[in-house]
Amino acid sequence: MGRARAPAGSCRLMALLINLVLATAAWAAAPPQTFDNLRQASRQSLAATTALPDFAIESASIRLGDRCQPYAPLFYVTATITNNGQAAKGRDGILIYATSLQQQRWGNGVRLYHLGRGASESVTFPIYFPRTRPELMSSANDFMVKIRIPGDLTESDARNNHFGPLSIKTPADFCS
The pLDDT tens digits of the residues spanning 134-160 come to: 776 767 889 999 999 887 778 889 999
CA distances from 139 to 49, 50, 133, 134, 169 (A): 50, 47, 11, 10, 6
pLDDT at site 167: 95
Residue in 127, 132, 131 with CA at minimum distance from that of residue 142: 127
84, with CB counted inside 10 A (0-12, 13-18, 19+), is: middle
pLDDT in tens, 57-105: 999 999 999 988 888 899 999 999 999 999 887 678 899 999 999 877 8
Average pLDDT, the chain: 80
What residue ranges do the domains of the chain occupy?
8-49, 55-169
Query: How does DSSP classify residue 138?
Result: G
pLDDT at site 27: 47
Answer yes or no: are the C-beta atoms of 92 and 150 closer than 8 Å.
yes
* Fold observed for domain 55-169: Immunoglobulin-like (2.60.40)
